Amino acid sequence: MKKLGLLLVGIFMLNMTVVLADEGMWLLSLLGKNYEQMKKQGFKLTPDDIYNVNKGCLKDAVVGLGNAGSPFWHYCTGEIISDQGLFSTNHHCGYGSIQSHSSIEHDYLTDGFWAKSMAEELPNEGMTAAILVRMEDVTNEIVPHLSETMTEKERNKMIDSLSKIITTKATEGTLYEAQVADMFAKNQFFMLVYIIYEDVRLVGAPPSSMGKFGGDTDNWEWPRHTADFSMFRIYTDKNGNPAPFSKDNVPLKPKHFFPISVKGIQDGDFAMVMGFPGTTERFLTSYGLQETMDITNKLRYEIRTVKINILRDEMAADPQVRIQYASKYASCSNYWKYSFQQNKALKALNTMAIKQQEEAKYLQWAENQSNPKYKDALNLIQKGYQDRAETEKALSYIIEGIITGPEILYFAYRKVSEILSLSRIDSQDTVEMMKAELLKEIDDFYKDFNPDVEKKLLANLLEYTYKNLDYTYHPAFFTNIFYKKFKTNGEKYANYIMSKSVFASAEKLKATLNDKNVGKILLADPAFVAGVSALRKYRELYLKNATFEEGIEEGSRYFVDGILKINKDKNYAPDANSTIRLTYGNVGQYDPRDGVTYHYYTTLEGVMQKEDPTNSEFIVPQRLKDLYAKKDFGQYADKNGNLPVNFITNNDITGGNSGSPVIDGEGNLIGLAFDGNSEAMSGDIDFEENLQRCINLDVRYMLFIIDKYAGASNLIKEIKIVK
């Protein structure tokens, strides 16, 4: 969608070069359609160098980070940078792992962590690393089996059944795993085959004062000055195959790894990003946009503000709490600010009017189609969103304020069912195995649980939710207990739960496991009673919403198909859905508003200028200040003697791209993507080509920290540096 203002028109008239962002997160196997444009922008390789199933190529060095329970949903991306399976990703992507290994005695969050040998690298249970083997368009194996007479439920059941057949056939007799992912609102389907590694170990990370420099203040903002990276290594069994953690495992021998360029970047240089972007909604209608702005973003921001304020105060007051809640806070605050900034950008860029104009054109086209379902598509979508508006609000309050706000209620709900199931198992060996796993889960949970913090979260979030959630949708415990017994006094109710619940501490819970009346005790536990009540209401509302979703899904399928037909000469990329994609663009400055121009890179000097010893977000370690004072930057300085820190490109990215490799036209690593800019926070819904910027860590700053700051020469030696 071209939105050139008078200023940019004037610039073109002055014959100045302006590089606009290229919208699209492109499927690797279809890059031939983009090749000529990529060459014009500075790409010097071929599509075969990016994606090839017969030889090592760039795709083989791109890693999707996931969890054992959901290996196809990639929360971040990494890039392999040595022939021994070493890979880099963002600091905030590795933050949970760094936090899990931290303690008061070994505070890796504050001090950083560097393994000076492979023997010192730390395992991370449940963390997975996926590498794409191949992808295939399987639309013709699915769509012919679908018909317009099917309901959406019947259609989805058929898609799932066929997908299982396709993936089973593709992986049978192999170590691979596969998924079928839908594209363009289930009008097209691709199979992606991965090899997924289970033994991933923490290798290095700078202190949080560097890796998270700027904190919430700078998040989603440019200019930035953060060392947002961490390092891990993939291990395999002795045959090079995926295997669970074992001391006998060996480093991965990858098919490809990225050389790292310290040549430096210039304004206009080609840059491409490969990674696993999470979700975009470029085909979202105005009705969906209204829900996103007025319900999803608004309520997420408002409810999380209650939680954020409590965690900030508690973490600032106690070092142990700071370590325990560091990862939880980071996870909560990231999309807390995103929700606010996205709404702000959507309003500023008048995205609603743009969507409505697009829909008006669609309706003109649909009037001339013989299939009446095209004409009815927007009506179906509008009705679906209208019908589910109130339940969607209720779901937001229940999820954010009760289920994921405090922790104890949902934890109690999950563990009671597990504990009670033990009595139904005949095999004693199985019981003992499950008990051992249960005890480990209990230890893991309470390691990062503080009763005083939980009490404040319970008191404030439940009170806030009770007051703001429409009474029609209150879970039963709100009426029967919170109101009748405690008169909606959050503090009294929280004190009651934390004093009476066996889930208030690991010791209480473990002791209860051995009680002969364990079932009776757990089912009457106040945390469980509240948790199961909230989950029942959540399920009730979720199932109600599912009926409305069918109309939205059917309407969207025809609407998206119509948009593609209307614009049949345009090369569209499907919305992001956590499958590997490539975006391409250029390094470049931008003008966010009248009278303001942002340069395309920042340096270490900016870190020193932002330093504020009274603000935890802007602390600068003494060693970094000493290196700066001596200008001891080594080979990582630019031609002017400055140390580059971050830079921006106009690549199309979103969540999940965090940690993605930023690659030059020759296939060398030049940066790690870690953020987008607030002015274009509407980008997941409406790409703004004049403002869209991808914020990246310059690899020279990463190498400087590894080499000069940390003295991890063992890592520098295994990295191929291109000068």
Catalytic residue among 29, 261, 501, 658: 658
**What architecture is domain 24-126+198-281+575-722?**
Beta Barrel (2.40)
Catalytic residue among 22, 60, 218, 228: 228
Residue 658 annotated to the active site: yes
Q: What is the pLDDT of residue 426?
A: 78
- Alpha carbons 114 and 229: distance in angstroms, whole number: 13
Q: What is the pLDDT of residue 597?
A: 96
pLDDT at 17 > cutoff 80: no
pLDDT at 18 > cutoff 50: no
Q: Which residues contact 129 (CB under 8 A, 6 or more apart)?
A: 63, 64, 65, 66, 78, 87, 196, 197, 200, 232, 234
Taking a C-beta distance cutoff of 8 angstroms, is the pair 189, 183 a contact?
yes
- Alpha carbons 403 and 409: distance in angstroms, whole number: 7
- Alpha carbons 377 and 348: distance in angstroms, whole number: 28
pLDDT digits (tens, 9 = 90+) for 313-340: 999 999 999 999 999 999 999 999 999 9
Q: Is 174 exposed, middle or buried (0-12, 13-18, 19+ CB in 10 A)?
A: exposed
- Alpha carbons 154 and 177: distance in angstroms, whole number: 26
- Residue 549's CB is within 10 A of a number of other CB atoms, namely 17
| Residue 223 structure tokens | 């200019």
Residue 92 annotated to the active site: yes
Catalytic residue among 74, 91, 92, 256: 92
Higher pLDDT, 499 or 2: 499
Alpha-helical regions (H) of 14-90: 35-41, 47-50
Q: What is the pLDDT of residue 21?
A: 62
Q: What is the pLDDT of residue 429?
A: 84
pLDDT at 20 > cutoff 80: no
Q: What is the pLDDT of residue 428?
A: 84
- Alpha carbons 200 and 89: distance in angstroms, whole number: 13
Provide the β-strand partners of residue 131. 195
Alpha-carbon distance values, 261 to 245, 713, 721 (Å): 32, 18, 6
Alpha-carbon distance values, 21 to 223, 273, 589 (Å): 19, 13, 12
- Alpha carbons 304 and 400: distance in angstroms, whole number: 7
Residue 421 annotated to the active site: no
Query: 614: which DSSP letter?
Result: T
Whose CA is closest to 695, among 548, 545, 589, 570?
A: 589
Q: Where are the domains of the chain?
A: 24-126+198-281+575-722, 286-562
CA quadruple 20, 23, 27, 33: dihedral, nearest 10: -60
Give the rounded percent of residues in the chain with a pLDDT score beyond 70.
97
- Alpha carbons 561 and 185: distance in angstroms, whole number: 8
Q: What is the pLDDT of residue 360?
A: 97
- Alpha carbons 384 and 381: distance in angstroms, whole number: 5
- Alpha carbons 240 and 251: distance in angstroms, whole number: 8
Angle at 21 between CA 17 and CA 26, to 5 degrees: 140
- Alpha carbons 529 and 627: distance in angstroms, whole number: 57
- Residue 524's CB is within 10 A of a number of other CB atoms, namely 11
Q: What is the pLDDT of residue 313?
A: 97
Q: For residues 24-32, give the mean pLDDT.
A: 95
Q: Which residues contact 216 (CB under 8 A, 6 or more apart)?
A: 333, 337, 617
Taking a C-beta distance cutoff of 8 angstroms, is the pair 705, 636 a contact?
no
Q: What is the pLDDT of residue 557?
A: 97
Q: Is 430 exposed, middle or buried (0-12, 13-18, 19+ CB in 10 A)?
A: exposed
Q: What is the pLDDT of residue 427?
A: 83
Higher pLDDT, 429 or 134: 134
Q: For residues 140-146, give the mean pLDDT.
A: 98
pLDDT digits (tens, 9 = 90+) for 487-530: 999 999 999 999 999 999 999 999 999 888 999 999 999 999 99
pLDDT digits (tens, 9 = 90+) for 350-364: 999 999 999 999 999
Taking a C-beta distance cutoff of 8 angstroms, is the pair 142, 163 a contact?
yes
Alpha-carbon distance values, 82 to 128, 251, 720 (Å): 18, 10, 7
State the pLDDT confidence band at 221, using cuts at 50, 70 and 90.
very high
| Residue 634 structure tokens | 């080594």
Strand runs labelled E in 176-269: 177-183, 188-197, 199-205, 230-236, 250-251, 260-261
Most distant CA pair in the chain, distance? 84
Q: What is the pLDDT of residue 1?
A: 40
Q: What is the pLDDT of residue 266?
A: 96
Long-range contacts from 633-637, C-beta under 8 angstroms, 24+ separation: 633/604, 633/704, 633/708, 634/704, 634/707, 634/708, 635/262, 635/721, 635/723, 636/262, 636/700, 636/701, 636/703, 636/704, 636/707, 636/708, 637/700
Q: How many residues does the chain have?
A: 723
State the pLDDT confidence band at 5, using cuts at 50, 70 and 90.
very low
pLDDT at 9 > cutoff 60: no
pLDDT at 10 > cutoff 70: no
Provide the β-strand partners of residue 675. 695
State the residue for tokens 């009476």: 500
Average pLDDT, the chain: 94
Query: 574: which DSSP letter?
Result: P
| Residue 184 structure tokens | 């363009």
